A and B are shown apart, each in its own frame.
Chain A
Amino acid sequence: MSASSIVRDWNTMDTEAFRAEVRAFFQQHYPEHLRYPKRRLRWDEIRPWTLKLAAHGWLAPSWPARHGGMGLAPDKLIAFIEEQERHGVARAPDMGITMVGPLLIQHGTDAQRAHYLPRILACQDIWCQGYSEPNSGSDLASLRTEAVADGDDFIVTGQKIWTTLAQDATHIFLLVRTDKAAKKQEGISFLLADMKSPGITVRPIRNIAGAEDFCEVFLDNVRVPRANIVGELNKGWTIAKALLGFERIFLGSPKQSQYALSRVEEAAAALGLLDDPVFSDRYTQLALDVADLGTLYARFVEQVKRGEALGPEVSMLKIFATETYSRLANLLVEIAGASGGTPGDVPTDGGTIDVLTTFYNARPATIYGGSNEVQRNILAGAVLQLPS
C-alpha cells in the first residue's frame, strides 16, 4: 500500500456516495480497452490495473482494515462488486484476495499472516487453487494427493487439475490427504506451497475456445515446510467448507445473462431478425427469465445486506443464472444459422457479430463452483427434504 492510502471507514458512508466514488475511480483509472473482456485475462494483461488498485488500498475490499483491506460490510461489498460488473472490470487472479487472505485471517498463525498478507496486498504473490483432481471433481473429498510427514516437512505427491491460471501463479493452496486411514473428509489438510518448489510441474490445458485458462499441476515429491499447514492437521475440509461464505451469491449474478441478452439483441439486429415473430417470442421469454433472475437475485442480496447467513437455497440462483446464460448462448448460435460454426468476429450485412464466445463461456458456467447437478442434489436434500 502507498502512503497516500488512508484508512477510511467506508461503512459509515452513504451507499450511493460510496458507489459514486468507486465508479469515478474505475472510470478514471481502468483501461478502456480491457472493459467487458470476452475472455479471462492473463496476469500480464491485468497486472497494471491490479497494481493501481493495490496502490489505492482497494485490492482487498472484504478484508478487515487492520489487515490492509477496505473492511467493507456485505452491503458495501456488494455495491463494490456491482460497480465492477457495471463498468466491465475484468477479474484478476484473485485467489489470494478471496480465499487465502480470509483463510489466514480466520485460521492462520500470526507468522503466516505476517508473511503472506502483505505479499498478497503488494501483488508479490499470486495464488492459485489446488482443489480438483483427475478423479475428484464433484466428489472432491475423495482426493488422493498425499502429504507425508518427514521431519519438519511434508512430502507431497499427486496431481491437481482445472487449476485456473496456475501458469501465472507464484503460490498454490492445496487440499491434501494427510491421513489415509480416516474417513474421507477427516484426513484432509490445508497446505500452502511455493510454485517454484522442486517437483511442481504446470501444464496448461487448452480449452475448446482455444484459450489456456486452466492447468494441470503435477506434484512429484514436493517438499513443503510443516509450518505451511493452515489450521489444524486433518481439519482442512472443514476450513475449506467454511470459506464458502456469502460470496456464493455471485455465482448467481444476473450480469452474465444480461450481457449475453445484449449480444443476442445486437446479433438479431445485424441479422434483421428483430421483427421476426418467432425470434421475438423466444427473445422475450429469455428477456423475462433474465429479468426475473434479477428479482430473485435481489432478494438474496437483501438477505445478505441484512447480515443474515445464506442457506442452501442460494444454489437455485446458480442453477437458474447459468442455465439462462446457456439458453441465451444457444439462441445466439441458432439465429446465426450458417455462421453458427464460425468462431470470432463474423461479418454480416448488418455489422460484425460474435457467435461462439458466449457459447464457449456458457459451457464451464454450469460446471464450475459445484456443477448444477451437485447443486440440485444439495437443494433436493437440504431444501426439499427428499430422502437419499
Chain B
Amino acid sequence: MTAATLASPADRVEERALLRASASAFVGKESPASRSRALRGKAPGFDLRFWAALAQQGWTGLLAPESAGGYGQGLTEMAEVVSALSAQAAPEPVTPVIVFAGRLLAGCGDCAMALQLLEQTASGQLLPAVAWQEDAAGATSFDHQGHPAEPATVCARSASALQLSGRKLHVRPGAGASGYIVTASSSEGLALVWLPAEAVRSGSELQRQADGSFAARLELDNVVLPASHLLASGERARAAFAAACDEALVMAGVELLACARRMLDMSLDYLRTRKQFGKPIGSYQALQHRAVDLLVQRELSSALLEHALAELDRGITGDERAQLAARVKARCSEAALTVGREAVQMHGAIGVTDEHDLGLYLQRALVLSAWLGNAAQQRRRYAALTRHPRDGGSAGAEGTAR
C-alpha cells in the first residue's frame, strides 16, 4: 500500500474497492454472526486471537503513520474495514482502539511514550482505550461552545510523578484494554495521561452493554504514575483530543450505517418472502412506504458519511470539523435506531427474540448511538457550535421552486 496522499484520486477509488472486497471476504469468512453471538457477555466480549488476525491483515496499522510502523492510510480507507466488520456485528473494538485512541496517540507529537504506544497499537499488541467522559448521561462531556469540556478529573504534577484523581465512565473497550489514555485538568491545561490497566485494577468496574460488550468505570483515587506517562498537555493535548474525538464520532457513524444497512436488508428480504393473507407482506403499500422512509435515512447517512470522510482526510479542522462530526453522529445514530425499531416491527414477534440475528445489530446500534454523545446530544452540540459564528445571506426563494 502506498500513502494515501501520494495516490491519485482514481487510484484511491480503486484501492478502496480492493480493500472493501478483501475486508468483506475476510470478515464474511472468519466472522459469522454465530461468532459474535458466542462472545457476548463474557469478558472481554471479543476475541484477542481475532484481533491478532486483524493485525496480520495490516488493519490495526492502517491509519498509523509509516513512522510508527503503519500504512498511513486515511479515514476513508479505515472506514472500509470498519464497515465490513460492523456488517457482521464483529465485536472487536476497532473504532475505540485504532481510531479514537490511535489518532489521539498520533496527535501527541514527539512524545516518546506516545510513539511507542502507537507502534504497539499499530502492530496489534496493545489495546489502548480513551477515558474522558465523567457522568452517567454524558451531559457534561461537551461545553457550552460544543467543545470537549474541561475534565473534573485532575492531574497533579510533581517533579518526578503524576497523580490522577477523579472518575471516568463509558470507557470502551471496558474489558481487554491494555491501558487508558485519561483526560485530566492540570496546571498546564488539558493533560493526556497513560494509565496502564494494572495501575487501576481495583478501581475499575465493568458494565455490560446491550450488545454483550463491556464498558468500564474507573475510580481514580490519587493514582500515582511516572512523569513520563504524560503524553501531551496544553494546546497540543486539546487539539489532539478534539481531532481524535471528532474522528471517532465519524467512524462510529460508519459502524452505525453498516448496522442500519444490514437491518434494512434483512427486513427487505423478510418483506419479500413472508406471506400473510396469501401475499408477500412487502406487497402492502403501508409497509412499502415505511421501507422507503428507511431507505431515505440510509442514503442521507451514506451521502453525509462519504462527504465527511473525504473532508476529514482533506484535513479540515476546528469548528468546521466539529460540526461535521456532530452532524454525522446525529444522523447515523437516529437512522440506525429508526431502522432498527422499524425492522423489529416489520419482522413481527420473531424480531424480538434473542435467537434472531436482527437483535445483534439493534443492540449494537443502541450501544454505538449512546457512545460519545447520542443524536440529541450531538444536535445540541451542533447548535452550540453554530450559535456564535453566524454568517448571513441565506440563499433561495420559495417562488423559484422547480
Contacts and interface: CB of A to CB of B under 8 A. Distances in A.
B395 A288 contact: no
B304 interface: yes
Given A85-B397, A259-B396, A91 B292 contact: no
A135 to B, nearest CB: 21
A103 B164 CA distance: 75
Interface stretch (A13-21, A38-46, A58-66, A183-191): A38-46
A255 B292 contact: no
Contacts of A84: 400
Nearest to B378: A288
Contacts of A250: 402
A174 to B, nearest CB: 22
A271 B376 CA distance: 24
Contacts of A380: 285, 288-289, 291-292
Interface residues of B, number: 40
B376 to A, nearest CB: 7
Interface in B284-328: 285, 287-289, 291-293, 295-296, 299-300, 303-304, 306-307, 327
B306 A299 contact: yes
A384 B291 contact: yes
B96 interface: no
A212 to B, nearest CB: 15
B300 A319 contact: no
A384 B300 CA distance: 16
Contact of B396 (A256, A285, A298): A256
8 contacts: A84-B400, A90-B399, A255-B396, A255-B400, A256-B398, A260-B398, A262-B394, A287-B383
A373 B307 CA distance: 29
Contacts of B303: 292, 295-296, 298-299
Interface string A37-79: 1111100000000000000000000000000000000000000
Contacts of A259: 394-398
Given A258-B394, A259-B394, A259-B397, 15 more contacts: A37-B397, A85-B400, A91-B401, A255-B396, A255-B400, A259-B395, A260-B398, A284-B382, A292-B304, A298-B307, A379-B292, A380-B291, A385-B272, A386-B282, A387-B282
Interface stretch (A1-9, A194-202, A357-365): A357-365
What are the 4 closest A-B residue pairs judged by CB atoms, nearest first? A255-B396, A380-B288, A36-B397, A37-B399
A320 B400 contact: no
A305 interface: no
A206 interface: no
A86 interface: yes
B311 to A, nearest CB: 10
A342 B386 CA distance: 32
Given A281-B379, A384-B291, A386-B268, A296 B397 contact: no
Contacts of B283: 386-388
B330 interface: yes
B280 interface: yes
Interface of B: 268, 271-272, 279-280, 282-283, 285, 287-289, 291-293, 295-296, 299-300, 303-304, 306-307, 327, 330-331, 376, 379-380, 382-383, 386, 394-402
A296 B300 CA distance: 6
A313 interface: yes
A contact face: mostly helix, strand, loop, or mixed: helix
A365 B292 contact: no
Contacts of B327: 288, 291-292
Contact of B402 (A37, A247, A313): A247
B379 A288 contact: yes
A89 interface: yes
Given A288-B330, A384-B291, A386-B271, A296 B395 contact: no
B400 A387 contact: no
Q: In the complex, which range does the number of interface residues on chain A fall in?
A: 35 or more
Contacts of A387: 272, 279-280, 282-283
B312 to A, nearest CB: 14
A229 B387 CA distance: 58
A261 interface: yes
A230 interface: no
Contacts of B300: 292-293, 295-296, 320
B334 to A, nearest CB: 9
A253 interface: yes
A101 B327 CA distance: 42
A377 interface: yes
Contact of A91 (B289, B296, B379, B399): B399
B292 A86 contact: no
B395 A284 contact: no
Contacts of B401: 91, 253, 255-256, 361, 365
A386 B394 contact: no
A262 B396 CA distance: 10
A386 B400 CA distance: 35
B288 A90 contact: no
A350 B42 CA distance: 60
Contacts of A361: 398, 401
Contact of B397 (A35, A316, A383): A35
A253 B307 CA distance: 18
A280 interface: yes
A161 interface: no
Contacts of B282: 386-387
Contacts of A261: 394
A251 B291 contact: no
Contacts of A260: 398
A158 to B, nearest CB: 28
A102 interface: no
Contacts of B399: 36-41, 88, 90-91
Contacts of B330: 288
A284 B379 contact: yes
A376 interface: yes
Contacts of A292: 300, 303-304, 327, 331
Contacts of B382: 284, 287-288
Contact of A358 (B380, B398, B402): B398
Interface in A74-132: 81, 84-86, 88-91
A253 B272 CA distance: 32
A255 B395 contact: yes
A2 to B, nearest CB: 26
Contacts of A90: 397, 399-400
